[in-house]
Structure 1
């Protein structure tokens, strides 16, 4: 990938969207990241007023539509937080316009979409990364260090639970099937990513069962199992029916590691508890950190140094393949679906 020339100054960002969530979490992260500048924001034409207000607050140019922002020569990198069904399309458009892209998860809802993005990124010599902000919180790297130390033995089972409730009738896009809604492609992405991250590979097969809240046409909760072979497994649950819950557990042959809040926000300390076979219990506090800003900083370094993105597109293909398999399994009444690959990417 082409490195961003330091002579160009700060990496100049544009954001496709002006919702309150983006303005509260992502835009401040970009604005605060060293070597980065938030220079442009765009909205759909019917929400042009929101773009103007947000742009004014951050000193950024407000564009009346997404295409206008992509045509702006003062933008080097684009953040794409649009509905799930639009991620691939606008990522491809951004690449065609010569922009680097940080795209909200899921990058794509199938492996083919990821492959199209990867091909376009290579042709454009631009960096693309799927945004899994929780990976960049120090408690995840600390959990990986403890696991690698052998403190809990060999990893045998990963449990992950991610959920928060969305009320029916709220107008939330996660409840809209036409926009790629449902629990699987939202909170489910995080639950699925945890075992893939720590086992460093795709499972051999998965099985899932979905539930839907009456009156809704998307799955609102799920329980899934994953077989990684050699006696290694994962159990995940996720939902937009209950919560909040965002925890995972690594079960080893000699102990257990638990992360209480995998989505620890700015101002919240991370908490890791380690239980060992000899009865020992210890708790580690990981100082609060803004994982959105750390994600932006890591992506910007990859762009500016011309190195690989900290989360590869191969990992994104794997996540999309497993997510698609969960959907297929649930449609088949929980039947096992093959998902194995030969690649490996550890934490």
Structure 2
């Protein structure tokens, strides 16, 4: 459900702290915060052994480089904390930041279980603060254009979503996504996007899902996957995602009279979006002007904080994403058997069921 809280005073600057000092943070997130009106990069934190990296990342913004995560969380001058830590740390540090009176934007997956998102939801309620999962791709205008085309009946009733997300992570790279102990694997990384897209456009969780996982030699995590979602009434989704190959960030909305294709959901700043509509009347391709979806995400969250209104990625979506992701993991462990994922939000995911 949506969370409401007192709006910030008009014109007050929103001061951001970031947990994590990776290349991703320095290359994408910090510039997006700094470029957003009313926002400032105020602090960065790393683990103590990486403090030199935090100093390096913070310097261009005149930001404080905290010695550890707890010090940043305790900083009274911060309004928002962005959490870009290993997946296994997301729930703990989100809850801690909320309890310290900060709003939180947390990298996907917000949690790897519905129970984890529930803990965050309770902490956000108790602190009267916002928490949001960072699905930056949702904030690119090409997604809004695809939704508008679907709503305009351009291709008829939505029946099937195809979603493919992939990029290569080499073995031996030391990347945390290859480490099972840190919540690695394709499902909880690129798979998050493939899981989100069908639920975003159908507006609900599927009734059941299934998956097959593939593991690269020498690794303990799945590195590629294929899956399906059944939304009932002849509506479905087909997924494939991987950290073995890529890059791909493509999805298609199949309607009763045609298709809407978004060719690159990860379109970066300076890269136009491309959307194709194909029906019996012909094919037309639209160019969506380039936009920075990281900055769009920061701006959207900042508006929600400033105006005391719901976020563009509500916690109900995060609960569904966590439930469905966990169900895909369980299905793969059961050899691809169907797992029920009813849209109710008031109980645990049912046990593995036998496919019809």
Fold agreement, TM-score > 0.5:
yes
- Retained in 2: the 8 A contact 1:213–1:220? yes
Among 4, 8, 28, which residue is 2:31 paired with?
28
C-alpha distance in structure 1 between counterparts of 2:181 and 2:207, whole Å:
30
Q: What SS is found at the alignment partner of 2:274?
A: strand
Corresponding residue for 1:306? 308
C-alpha distance in structure 2 between counterparts of 1:272 and 1:7, whole Å:
38
- Retained in 2: the 8 A contact 1:136–1:295? yes
C-alpha distance in structure 2 between counterparts of 1:52 and 1:213, whole Å:
36
C-alpha distance in structure 2 between counterparts of 1:263 and 1:272, whole Å:
13
Corresponding residue for 2:130? 127
Question: Any idea what the Cα deviations from partners look like across 1:123-173, whole Å, max 9, x if unmatched?
Answer: 000000000000000000000000000010000000000001110000000
Corresponding residue for 1:118? 121
- Retained in 2: the 8 A contact 1:152–1:255? yes
Among 62, 67, 78, which residue is 1:64 paired with?
67
- Retained in 2: the 8 A contact 1:222–1:237? yes
Give the drift of 1:335: 0.2
C-alpha distance in structure 1 between counterparts of 2:138 and 2:335, whole Å:
32
Give the drift of 1:12: 0.5
Give the drift of 1:185: 0.2
C-alpha distance in structure 2 between counterparts of 1:244 and 1:150, whole Å:
31
Corresponding residue for 1:230? 233
Unaligned 5+ segments in structure 1 are none
C-alpha distance in structure 2 between counterparts of 1:287 and 1:59, whole Å:
32
Give the drift of 1:2: 2.7
C-alpha distance in structure 1 between counterparts of 2:311 and 2:168, whole Å:
32
Runs of 4+ in 1 over 3 A off after TM superposition: none
Corresponding residue for 1:172? 175
1:289 paired to 2:282: no
CA RMSD of aligned residues (A): 0.9
C-alpha distance in structure 2 between counterparts of 1:202 and 1:341, whole Å:
5
Give the drift of 1:214: 0.6
Among 15, 19, 38, which residue is 1:12 paired with?
15
1:263 paired to 2:261: no
1:84 paired to 2:87: yes
C-alpha distance in structure 1 between counterparts of 2:80 and 2:5, whole Å:
13
**TM-score, scaled to structure 1:** 0.97
C-alpha distance in structure 2 between counterparts of 1:54 and 1:316, whole Å:
29
C-alpha distance in structure 1 between counterparts of 2:217 and 2:147, whole Å:
40
Q: What SS is found at the alignment partner of 2:245?
A: coil
Q: What SS is found at the alignment partner of 1:103?
A: strand
Corresponding residue for 1:73? 76
C-alpha distance in structure 2 between counterparts of 1:142 and 1:259, whole Å:
10
- Retained in 2: the 8 A contact 1:188–1:238? yes
Give the drift of 1:35: 1.0
Corresponding residue for 1:336? 338
Give the drift of 1:96: 1.1
Unaligned 5+ segments in structure 2 are 346-356
Give the drift of 1:53: 1.1
- Retained in 2: the 8 A contact 1:4–1:11? no
Give the drift of 1:97: 0.8
Among 302, 313, 319, which residue is 2:321 paired with?
319
Matched length:
342
Q: Structure 2 matches for 1:126-275, cutoff 5 A?
A: 126-275=129-278
Q: What SS is found at the alignment partner of 1:6?
A: coil
- Retained in 1: the 8 A contact 2:112–2:326? yes
Give the drift of 1:4: 4.4
